[in-house]
Chain A
Amino acid sequence: NAGVTQTPKFRILKIGQSMTLQCTQDMNHNYMYWYRQDPGMGLKLIYYSVGAGITDKGEVPNGYNVSRSTTEDFPLRLELAAPSQTSVYFCASGQGGSGNTIYFGEGSWLTVV
């Protein structure tokens, strides 16, 4: 069972470069999310989507963009990478509806130098 799959797992970027973190889920979930995890800070929501064609900002959206052209895929794009974007990124998905469990991918470690 694949669940939520993220790629790449590790990446080093130079300041100013751009890249896309890929996320796909095979559970037919409507809701998808991107979180970032900074050391000692827990996870913070970057963007989320409640269905194909619909996206919305979370708590820390600046410097990122997302798209949701299909139910399965929810890529996160970093434009003009900055050292402050060095973090671990988690994609997640859920059925939607109050309190439904959200399932996470394995994380993508990104370093901007």
Chain B
Amino acid sequence: AQKVTQAQTEISVVEKEDVTLDCVYETRDTTYYLFWYKQPPSGELVFLIRRNSFDEQNEISGRYSWNFQKSTSSFNFTITASQVVDSAVYFCALSEADTDKLIFGTGTRLQVFP
């Protein structure tokens, strides 16, 4: 069965701290896709990144970086030098090869204080 676990319900940091959001997934498929979405206080869902199961290369985009490790079934998200605007709920999600349907984790609420 597919499952996404985000064990951290809420994280609070002070601006400029680095923070890592954990995501652990379960799937029986060898081909699958992992996603991160950001939900700011305004409520919309913003796509951040997609990674397929054959690409374990880490990705960096500005202050954001993602670490994909198949050996531990994890797809963690790190924000470097956090800013107040990073305050949001972050969702990790999984889709398998034969479907576009996303299975979401329960989200991690990140609060960045000035």
- In this complex, what residue of A is CB-closest to B43? A107
| Residues 1-33 (chain B) with a chain A CB within 8 angstroms | 4, 9, 31-33
> Which residues of A are in contact with B by a Cβ distance under 8 Å?
31, 33, 35, 40-45, 48, 58, 88, 90, 92, 94, 96-107, 109
* Cβ contact within 8 Å between B44 and A106: yes
Residues of the A chain whose Cβ atoms lie less than 8 Å from the Cβ of B4: 42
A to B CB contacts below 8 Å, 11 in the list = A33-B101, A41-B106, A42-B4, A45-B102, A88-B43, A90-B45, A98-B100, A99-B50, A100-B100, A104-B45, A106-B43
* Residue tally, chain B, CB below 8 Å to A: 25
> Which residues of B are in contact with A by a Cβ distance under 8 Å?
4, 9, 31-33, 35, 37, 42-45, 47, 50, 52, 91, 95, 97-98, 100-102, 104-107
Consensus secondary structure, chain B interface: loop
Query: Roughly how many angstroms separate A109 CA and B97 CA in the complex, as a whole number?
Result: 32
- In this complex, what residue of B is CB-closest to A43? B104
Given contacts A98-B33, A98-B95, 4 further A-B contacts (CB under 8 A): A48-B101, A58-B101, A99-B32, A100-B100
